[in-house]
Amino acid sequence: MSENTCACTQPKEEVAEWLNSVEYKEKNFSRKALAINPSKACQPLGALLCALGIDGCLPFVHGSQGCAAYFRNTLNRHLREPVPTVSDSMTEDSAVFGGQANLIEGLKNAYQIYKPQMIAVFTSCMAEVIGDDLNAFITNARNAGSVPQDFPIAYAQTPSFVGSHITGWDNMFKALLQSLADPRHGRWTNGRLYVVPGFDAYPGNLREYKRLVSSMGIPMTMLPDASEAMDSPHTGEYQIYPGGTPMSELADALNASGFIFMQRYSTVGSFKFVKNVQKINTEVVTMPIGIGNTDKFLMALHEMTGKPIPAELEKERGRAVDSATDAHQYIHGKRFAMFGDPDLLLGLTGFLLEMGGIPAHIVCTNGSEQFRKDIQAVLDASPFGKDCGVHIGRDLWHLRSLLMTEPVDMLIGDSHGKFDAKDANIPLVRIGFPIMDRVNLHRSPIVGYQGAINLVTMIANTFMDQTDRTCPDRLFELMR
C-alpha cells in the first residue's frame, strides 16, 4: 500500500493483509499520542482492591457514581463476587464548586446505613482535576457530625490519569499505614511477620502465601488480606464484610518484626515508607512464580526469621520438579508472547526460562524503566532469553503487530488478549487480571510450588489440545 493511497478506498482483504505487515508494524510503533487497548486500569480500582482486604472496611469513592460502577463491575466480572463500594456521586455542580458537600453527606449515609468499622476514601479523576483536599474535607465532615471524631478513616489521592491500578493499590496501602497504624514502640516488636501481597486478584495466591509461611512456623499477618472478600463462601446469607485483616493487626503493623513484600512494582511507595521511614526489617521478592522464584522466597523467609524450611515443602518442591520434567517436552523451545502487570511478567519470565520456553515478546503497558532493566537481567541470565523483546508503555495493538510479524506459539495474558490470539491463530493461556470469559481460574494459585504445577499443567495441556484440534487425521493419536 503506497504512502498516498487511502486505506478506505482499498479492498478489505488488502487492508487486512497490510495490517499484518512489517510496514504497518513500523507505523504502529511510531505512534505516540494514541493508545489502543492499553493493558492497565486506573488507580482507584487498585485502591478499592486494597481496601477490601481490611475486615469491616467500606471502600468509598470520592467521585462520580459511574466511576464506582466501573471499578465494581471490573472486579465483579473477574471474581464473580459482589464488590461492596459506595460513592458520594459527584456531578456537574461538584465539578464547579468542589465535592465537599458530597463527601460530608456521603460519609454520613455510609456510616449510618452500612455500619462499617472503618472507611477508606480514595479519589477519581473529577476530584483530582479540581483539587479537592481530602484531609480538610474529612476534618470538616467530622466537625459536622457525619462520623464520630475518633472513627477510623484512611484516605488516598488516586488520580486516574496518572499511573495505573498498581499505583492506586500502593497509594491506598501506604495511606492505611500512615492513617491507622499506631507509631512504632522503639525496638519492641509484636513478633509477627507482615506479608504484603501487592495488587493480586487471585485469592488462591493469597491463601498459598499464608499456607507456605505458616508451614514454616512463622507468626504472620497478611496485610491486606482480601482473600475472603474475593472468594467468600455461598451460605445463603450475604455478608457485606466477609473478613480480612483485623483492625487490631493493622493498628499494630508498624511494630512488626519484619515485612516481606511479594511484589516490587505495585508497592514502590509503601516499601520505601516501611523500610526507609519506619526502619523496619523489610525485604521484597520477585513474585514467586515457578520453582526458582519460590526457592528465593522461602530462603528470604528463612534468612529473615531463622526458621528452617520444613520437609513437607521440600516434598512439594520435588513434586513440582517432577511435573516440570513430565511436561518439559511440550514447553521447551516454544515461543511465547506475554502481557500484563510488571510483577506478574517478571515472575512468569523466570518460570518460562526455567522450563526452556522463549518469552519472545513481553509487553507491559504500566512498566517502568527499572522494570525493563530488571527483566532484561533475568533474560540475559538464560540462553533462552536471547533476542527476546521487552516493550514498556506499549498496548495490545502493538502486541498484535508483534504477533503477526514475529509469530509465537502461545500468548499468555488476561481475557483482553483473546482478540489478538484469534487474529494470530494461536492459543491464549489466561493468566492475570481481569479474566472475564473463564471461571474459577483466580481460585487456583499460580505462586509457590503448587502454582508451578498448575502453570505447567495449563500450558502443556493447552498445547496438546491445540495439536488435537489442528492435526491431520493420520496424526490424531491417543497419546501425546
CB 289 within 8 A of CB 450: no
129 is catalytic: yes
Beta strands (DSSP E) in 160-315 are 193-196, 220-222, 258-261, 282-284
Distance CA 242, CA 290 (A): 31
From residue 259, how far is each of 215, 226, 276, 283, 402 by CA, in Å? 18, 18, 12, 6, 40
Rounded to the nearest 10°, the torsion over CA 324, 330, 331, 337 is -140
The set of cell numbers assigned to 475 is: 496424526
User: Is 8 one of the annotated active-site residues of the chain?
Assistant: no
Distance CA(410)–CA(335), nearest Å, equals: 7
Using the structure block, give the residue that is written with the C-alpha cell 452500612.
Answer: 114
- Rounded to whole angstroms, the Cα distance separating 379 from 375 reads 6
Q: How many CB atoms lie within 10 A of CB 421?
A: 21
149: number of Cβ within 10 Å: 8
Question: Residue holding cell 481530602?
Answer: 134
| Identified catalytic residue from 129, 162, 277, 471 | 129
Which of 13, 5, 19 has the alpha carbon at shortest distance from 398? Answer: 19
The grid coordinates listed for 305 are 526469621
Alpha-helical segments (H) within 146-239: 165-180, 203-215, 227-230
For the four alpha carbons of 235, 236, 237 and 241, in that order, the dihedral sign comes to positive
The Cβ of residue 102 has, within 10 Å, a number of other Cβ atoms equal to 23
Determine if the peptide bond prior to 288 is cis (ω within 30°): no
Q: Which of 42, 121, 125, 408 is catalytic?
A: 125
Strand partners, 220: 193
Q: Strand 282-284's sheet: what is its strand order? A: 220-222, 193-196, 258-261, 282-284
Helices and strands per DSSP (H, E), number in the chain: 20, 13
Q: Which residues are catalytic?
A: 125, 129
